[in-house]
Structure 1
Amino acid sequence: MKHSLHTIILEIHNKEDKISAQSERLIDEAYQMTLYLQDLLFSVKEHVIKTGFKNDEEEIQFFRTIKPQILGKLIYYNKVYRIETTCPVSNGKMYYSYFSNQLASLKREYIEHICNSDFYRYYRSGRTDRDHTYFKRGNINYHDGLNSIVFEIDPEFSTFYDYKTARIIANELLYSYLITKINPDEHPDAILQKPESSKDIFWTDSKNALIELIYSLYASGAISHGKIGVRKISLMFQILFGITLGDLHHAFHRMKTRSGSRTAFLDQLKTSLEEYMDKDL
């Protein structure tokens, strides 16, 4: 099969970068990515139905890893578009309340429909012993009392559990997105809390410098082989340093259009490291 997990992730990341460079608002980016991912999913579906799979292993890999990456991102961007287009204000208490309610709704869905399921524990543990049951077509067990979405899927292009995997991926992305929308500096009960072991670790440069570092790590694929998004990387740094970065998308757009070097912080890092190396000479 011509599609691999690496090429699919790379293709989606490249498209995200291109659309991000052309879009000034997250709403526009989410809308364009929804259209792109919908077309990508359709073209992959055509290929699968026309060509099929060489063996069981190829089929399992597709429904366990490849399709969920596309569908998960599609669910995510579609939800972001819906959230952004119904947000009543651009800041203030109502803004915080709106995104807090969205986060609470996501948590309820996670608790009620995802985290307590046998499949979720199976997927999270990295097990593969039941992959032939979960990720091969034609094995849906209706005795399990499955969600009614199972009756709407195309049995030629779904095992049902590929959809559940995609929802897990989408929910993780949505969680990171909603966290960055909430400002913990203004609301002490917000979720971003520094671990006790890192209370003495602080980011002492500008927020823009940290955003520049985050995007460079994302663009290079240096973290988890490029398999996690920029917002999840951002969340890691925000928790580590106890800092709120706000709207990454707008900050990055300003970075791309600023005068002088667009990578000022990375340039300074290189200079500082070279000067430190020279001290030992």
Structure 2
Amino acid sequence: MRHPLNKIVSDIQKEERKLSAETSSFIDEAFKMTVYLQELLRTVKEDVIREGFSNREEEMLFFKQIKPNILGKLIYYNKVFRIETACPANNGNMYQSYFAMHLRILKQEYMEHVCNSDFYRYYRSGRTDRDEQYFMLGNINYHDGLNSFVFEIDPKFSTYFDYKVSKIIGNELIYTYLTTKINPEQQPDILLQNDETKDIFWTHSKNALIELIYALHASGAISHGKIGIRKISMVFQILFRVSLNDIHNSFHRMKTRSGSRTLFIDQLKSSLDDYMDKEDS
């Protein structure tokens, strides 16, 4: 396999972590990830068209998992870039309404075009009995009334349904992104919003929480460092009922602080030392 799935996923995650640390805003990160993924997809396409596949299993794996992992992320970052660059405000009611509108559009698209389709149920159930039909070149059935963009795809690098999988992956990432942009308190269906956890909330500054999130990510303490800042941020926002807007800009401002750049982490250590001393006395 010239493009093993685990290597593709690992390379994308490495680039995400690198750009997350280097870029000054999420807009910049989304743009650079879009460029990176476009180039990666182009390179993989040239290789596939030039060399083909060694067997049917390799071909089906490529179009069911490998290509969709690249294209799905590309769909996500490109959409995020477009949403972010058109955002009308930094916060406030207009800001919340803007992202809520995009979330409604995404949910409507999901209900109308995705969740009720036979292919979506097939893919979600983990079935493999129709993989040869869905994920091998040359099997596009135009009699099924497929979306019109099927006529624009390259038949040497798409089975049509690989795009469907990519769209599912991309939309799920966009959904997560949009829910983190909207105040968790305005999301009644979001995780952990119930009576048992209503007394759990963040009481320090937002910058302190951002500092903690980056420290946990940098140390590899969560999922061995294999998930990104935004996903960790989403969990903390949901858990502590706090809205963190542009955490990247906040983090980059921390890097230029005078004196200690890790004020909250330093405070945590001091507080824990004091607590241990009290326990011993």
Task: Identify whether the pair has TM-score above 0.5, normalized to the shorter chain.
Answer: yes
Matches of residues 173-212 of structure 1 in structure 2 within 5 Å? 173-185=173-185, 188=186, 192=190, 194-196=192-194, 197-203=196-202, 207-208=206-207, 210-212=209-211
SS in 2 for 1:119: helix
The letter for the 2-side match of 1:101 is M
1:45 aligns to what?
45
Query: How far apart, in 2, do the equivalents of 1:141 and 1:153 lie?
Result: 14
Moved more, 136-145 or 69-78: 136-145
SS in 2 for 1:120: helix
1:12 aligns to what?
12
Query: How far apart, in 1, do the equivalents of 2:118 and 2:266 lie?
Result: 45
Matches of residues 90-239 of structure 1 in structure 2 within 5 Å? 90-185=90-185, 188=186, 192=190, 194-196=192-194, 197-203=196-202, 207-208=206-207, 210-212=209-211, 214-215=213-214, 220=220, 222-223=222-223, 226=226, 229-239=228-238
Contact kept in structure 2, 1:212 and 1:266, CA below 8 Å:
no
Moved more, 237-246 or 22-31: 237-246
Contact kept in structure 2, 1:87 and 1:95, CA below 8 Å:
yes
The letter for the 2-side match of 1:240 is L
Contact kept in structure 1, 2:76 and 2:173, CA below 8 Å:
yes
Deviation of 1:107 after TM superposition, in Å, equals 1.1
Deviation of 1:42 after TM superposition, in Å, equals 0.3
Moved more, 254-263 or 53-62: 254-263
RMSD over equivalenced CA pairs, Å: 3.1
Percentage of matched positions with identical amino acids: 59
TM-score between the two structures when normalised by the length of structure 1? 0.82
Structure 2 CA distance for partners of 1:156 and 1:266, relative to 1, 3 Å: farther
Query: How far apart, in 2, do the equivalents of 1:205 and 1:92 lie?
Result: 21
SS in 2 for 1:137: coil
Deviation of 1:254 after TM superposition, in Å, equals 3.6
Query: How far apart, in 2, do the equivalents of 1:2 and 1:236 lie?
Result: 35
Deviation of 1:167 after TM superposition, in Å, equals 0.8
Deviation of 1:118 after TM superposition, in Å, equals 1.3
Cα displacement string for residues 201-236 of structure 1 (whole angstroms, at most 9, x for unaligned residues):
44566544544554566564953993x554334323
Moved more, 240-249 or 71-80: 240-249
Matches of residues 53-68 of structure 1 in structure 2 within 5 Å? 53-68=53-68
TM-score between the two structures when normalised by the length of structure 2? 0.82
Structure 2 CA distance for partners of 1:113 and 1:214, relative to 1, 3 Å: farther
Between Structure 1 and Structure 2, whose CA radius of gyration is higher?
2
Does 2:252 align with 1:253? Answer: yes
Cα displacement string for residues 35-89 of structure 1 (whole angstroms, at most 9, x for unaligned residues):
1111110000001111111111111111111111111111111111111122222
Deviation of 1:156 after TM superposition, in Å, equals 0.9
SS in 2 for 1:155: coil
Contact kept in structure 2, 1:194 and 1:242, CA below 8 Å:
no
Deviation of 1:130 after TM superposition, in Å, equals 1.9
The letter for the 2-side match of 1:178 is L
Contact kept in structure 2, 1:183 and 1:246, CA below 8 Å:
no
Deviation of 1:170 after TM superposition, in Å, equals 0.9
Question: Number of residue pairs matched?
Answer: 274
Query: How far apart, in 1, do the equivalents of 2:205 and 2:263 lie?
Result: 13
Deviation of 1:190 after TM superposition, in Å, equals 6.1
2:241 aligns to what?
242
Which residues of structure 2 form unaligned runs of 5+?
A: none
Query: How far apart, in 2, do the equivalents of 1:131 and 1:157 lie?
Result: 16
The letter for the 2-side match of 1:250 is N
Deviation of 1:153 after TM superposition, in Å, equals 0.9
Query: How far apart, in 1, do the equivalents of 2:228 and 2:121 lie?
Result: 23
Which residues of structure 1 form unaligned runs of 5+?
A: none
Matches of residues 77-96 of structure 1 in structure 2 within 5 Å? 77-96=77-96
Contact kept in structure 2, 1:238 and 1:245, CA below 8 Å:
yes
1:34 aligns to what?
34
Cα displacement string for residues 220-270 of structure 1 (whole angstroms, at most 9, x for unaligned residues):
4953993x554334323333333333323323434555553659649958x
Moved more, 30-39 or 213-222: 213-222
Moved more, 234-243 or 41-50: 234-243
